[in-house]
Structure 1
Amino acid sequence: MRIRPVSAVTSALLGLSVLLLAVPQARAAAPAARTASQVRTPLVIGHRGAPRRAPENTLASVDEAAGLGITWVENDVQRTKDGALIVMHDTTLERTTDAGRRYPGRAPWRIADFTLAEIRKLDAGSWYDRRFAGERVPTLRSYLQRVDRNRQKLLLEVKAPELYPGIERQLAGELQRAGWLDARHVRNALVVQSFSAPSLKAFHRVRPEVKTGFLGAPKASELRSYAAFADQINPPHRGVTAAWVRSVHAVRGPHGRRLEVSAWTVDNGDRAVELARMGVDGIISNAPQEIEEALENATDEEETEDDGALSILGFLGL
């Protein structure tokens, strides 16, 4: 059988049919575009600074994050034998310093067993790369000063507070002396978080004006009890769902605002985009620059799709 070529008129009619079929989808896409543009992109928070570029929880790591344009950084605070507050993640010194070589007979090298003077002698950079040889374990005061100098903001974790009785009041005093409890910092540059609900409650009693975050993922039915002392519920990202995020956002915290969610530790761009679409407020990452780029790319793609849908409506005069 001979197939006749399609006439120009028929071709035009077919094209119009395709456009008409696209109208319902375009109409649906237009409100979605407007809604998406109103959704705030999550804050990206550098986990221990920028640990893929510098040794974690050091001033070098904070500086690297600043160089990447990362405004928010996360750190961990603990206490030495003689009562100084320092910045380090592990409760022992061995993994991220040369404590094992310098103090061979003092295993397991617990922070609480060493004075600040002893910890000041440690090399906290060579384990990561020779370029960082001589990097020191920072005191909380020096860390706060550097974050301020870089015009950054801080998500500060009270690490293992059960090992350091009274650290909450001491921390509040140190923040006060460093100028971090003024209106500017308290309003939008500081969050204190912990895995320990009792510790977070204790800090909230001492400085109720400071935003606080509970590290964990309570059940939806438990959220109101945490909202008495926590402004954020910060869970491991793997278990986060859109329904759970909505449950958190439905509860108001101690300052009368809805609870926020900052998920950790997210180093995959696709997962970060998924979490952003679920509505999380923050994403804590070892690779903050890569996560920011993934979120920006996803936003650009969505805007392009939305513009295409709106163009169809405009072409049809709808």
Structure 2
Amino acid sequence: MKKQRLLPYRQSVPSILLFQIISSLALQIWMSCFSVISRLLIRSTGHVAVTSGEFSFLFTTWQGILLIILAIVNLFLFVAVDLNALVILCNRLLTGEKPSVLYCIKEGFLSLKRFLNPPGILVVLYVSLLSPIIGFELVISLTRGLYVPKFISSVIWSNPLFSIGAVILIAALFLVGVLFIFILHGTLIDGMTLRKSGSNSINLIRKNKKKFFLEILRFFLVFLAVFAAAFVITAFIIFLSLFLQIPESVLIPITVFSLSLISCVMLMFILMTMPLLTLKLTSLYLDFKSEGEWRYEERENRKSPIVIVTAIVLVLLICLTTVSVSCFYNELFPGKVTTGFVAHRAGGFEAPENTAAGLDVAYKMGASGGEIDIQRTSDGSYIVLHDNTFSRVAGVDKKPSEMTLEEVKQLRVDGEPVPTLEDMLDASHGRLTLYVELKGETADKQMADEAVKIIKDRNMTDETVIISLKYDLIDYVESTYPEMNTGFLAFASFGDTAELNCDYLALEEETATVDTINSIHNNGKKVLVWTVNDDEDIEEFIQSGADELITDNLSGAKEIIEELDNQTPMERIVYGVLDIFDSL
């Protein structure tokens, strides 16, 4: 029985693997072309990138509108290949039809005409934008890593009411995904309209819910068992090497080889999870609609060179990694951390936010800098505050622009006075780099000019960086005062980001890829990553090559840096190799 249960997967692997290789290459070629076209369109508008601080031109120029249309077309193309063509392939594999990969991809494209209607658009938006965010497995590769930026999610999860609302929304969207799990199958296999296929999917799930959940649970348990076994085997090899006290010259290659092997195995399983899950769902669909009468018919076994070729490529990759890492060990895994950390809102979680006391704590904890937010009062002074009003931090529901400096000085943040920009400059002088964010509704050119004057009056141009979410302000400061250090805060960016007119690029975690960081450095600029608070994320980005991390978790950052500085050669290899493969 177990052999019969695994037979469809064993016989389908070669065709699915070939499909994954061909479809991935085709989509990658298209995305390379799309990237070139997009950059040309963006540059023709006089810009170098579309960012969170500069995107309005998308709606006011024909190039921007064309770019939006191309982006929407991309979603449909990826659905056609990643999902539609895959469902068609799985159906042919299970029903004994010839599993031609190119035929299935062609049919996937032809099926798009069925999605050019309101229900179809909703399906495309769900699988491309909502599925990856809520953790649903049926997603397209284009948006697989999509998630809510942590500076937004942290606000949601820190508020009980928002948290409850978010949980309810995620649960509802997940339930929708389960109920409509067979909507593509009904449309692509049986030619139903999306509306009828949706109703059919709900009925099939309701009638077979127990078997459905048990089969899906069994499917994922098998994958978890494979991952666990791979980890145990790798750990055993490494610990055995340590126990036998093998010389470091031999231990390094053994460790790298073991980690490379397990990483390749994991990559292959990740690559195959989505197709095999689709195969499982397709078999369940055929079973449910026939009320248990459908049976998989064993096909004639045919030799498939794709599995052998893939295995050879993986072996070569593992050997190349082993040799490269062993030869360039010190260059790849330096012994000392070069990335520093910057205290978010002056003192992070360790002190009252945006206060001089916070900067003092940050300095004592080894931070290289402190980030603050300035806003203008009604009488033209600059005080430090993150929110629009003082309600949260000082219990007064007024904006800085509605108060005089004298009134602001009467307020307290956890017992500390609300400081001015001048106070914070004095507190950081000679100790920390001060990242001054132009914040709120009063963030304009007047604020930029006056902040620059205040900084220059104290001869602190080399000790400060003016930053903002508003790219036009940063562009203005950089162009008008080239002697000042400037930084643009971007939580989304597409295009030639490294060519933006500033000295620092502060990237939100999702945007801060290794390629982006390297590109920015190659353009002679520095990289900040914000706001990195989880220990795991801090460790990742400290080793990413970024210049600084902006964090609230100062004690965590300090501890992690100390641990990394004191890593043994073995630990440097283990974490280094895992990070390399984690980024693939």
Q: Indicate whether the TM-score tops 0.5.
A: yes
Match of 2:509 in 1: 237
Q: CA deviation at 1:194?
A: 0.6
* Distance of 1:222 and 1:161 partners within structure 2: 28
Q: CA deviation at 1:22?
A: 5.0
Q: CA deviation at 1:159?
A: 1.0
1:147 corresponds to which letter in structure 2?
A: S
Residue 198 in structure 1 maps to residue 478 in structure 2: no
Residue 248 in structure 1 maps to residue 529 in structure 2: no
TM-score (norm 2): 0.41
Residue 137 in structure 1 maps to residue 387 in structure 2: no
Match of 2:537 in 1: 271
Indicate how the Cα distance of structure 1 residues 219 and 302 shifts in structure 2: closer, same or farther if over 3 A, else same: farther
SS at match of 1:70: coil
1:186-216 per-residue CA deviation (whole Å, 9 max, x = no partner) reads: 2xx2211111111111212332112211100
Residue 68 in structure 1 maps to residue 349 in structure 2: no
User: Which residue of 541, 548, 552 corresponds with 1:282?
Assistant: 548
- 8 Å Cα contact 2:340/2:542 also seen in 1: no
Residues 34-183 of structure 1 aligned to structure 2 (within 5 Å):
34-37=331-334, 41-100=338-397, 109-125=398-414, 133=415, 135-148=416-429, 151-160=431-440, 163-181=443-461
- 8 Å Cα contact 2:376/2:442 also seen in 1: no
- 8 Å Cα contact 2:532/2:550 also seen in 1: yes
Indicate how the Cα distance of structure 1 residues 114 and 306 shifts in structure 2: closer, same or farther if over 3 A, else same: closer
* Distance of 1:204 and 1:18 partners within structure 2: 54
Indicate how the Cα distance of structure 1 residues 166 and 97 shifts in structure 2: closer, same or farther if over 3 A, else same: same
Q: CA deviation at 1:17?
A: 10
Indicate how the Cα distance of structure 1 residues 232 and 81 shifts in structure 2: closer, same or farther if over 3 A, else same: same
SS at match of 1:266: coil
- 8 Å Cα contact 1:33/1:306 also seen in 2: no
1:279 corresponds to which letter in structure 2?
A: G
Q: CA deviation at 1:49?
A: 2.0
2:489 corresponds to which letter in structure 1?
A: L
Gaps of 5+ in 2: 1-243, 257-322, 575-584
Q: CA deviation at 1:31?
A: 1.4
Gaps of 5+ in 1: 1-14, 101-108, 126-132, 253-257, 309-318
Instruction: Percent identity, please.
Output: 24
* Distance of 2:571 and 2:508 partners within structure 1: 31
User: Which residue of 503, 528, 544 corresponds with 1:262?
Assistant: 528
- 8 Å Cα contact 1:124/1:137 also seen in 2: yes
1:86-105 per-residue CA deviation (whole Å, 9 max, x = no partner) reads: 111112111111324xxxxx
Match of 1:313 in 2: none
Bigger mean CA offset, 110-119 vs 32-41: 32-41
1:69-128 per-residue CA deviation (whole Å, 9 max, x = no partner) reads: 32311111111010001111112111111324xxxxxxxx11111110111111222xxx
Indicate how the Cα distance of structure 1 residues 225 and 305 shifts in structure 2: closer, same or farther if over 3 A, else same: closer
2:482 corresponds to which letter in structure 1?
A: P
SS at match of 2:474: helix
- 8 Å Cα contact 1:75/1:157 also seen in 2: yes
1:294 corresponds to which letter in structure 2?
A: I
* Distance of 1:277 and 1:53 partners within structure 2: 24
1:23-52 per-residue CA deviation (whole Å, 9 max, x = no partner) reads: 744863351223322885211111112232
Q: CA deviation at 1:163?
A: 4.7
Indicate how the Cα distance of structure 1 residues 20 and 116 shifts in structure 2: closer, same or farther if over 3 A, else same: closer
Q: CA deviation at 1:279?
A: 1.6
- 8 Å Cα contact 1:215/1:235 also seen in 2: yes
Q: Which has the higher contact order (CA 8 A, sep 6+)?
A: 1
* Distance of 1:275 and 1:245 partners within structure 2: 11
- 8 Å Cα contact 1:81/1:113 also seen in 2: yes
Q: CA deviation at 1:156?
A: 1.3
- 8 Å Cα contact 1:268/1:291 also seen in 2: no
Rg larger for: 2
SS at match of 1:166: helix
* Distance of 2:417 and 2:481 partners within structure 1: 30
* Distance of 2:407 and 2:572 partners within structure 1: 59
Which structure is higher in helix share?
Answer: 2
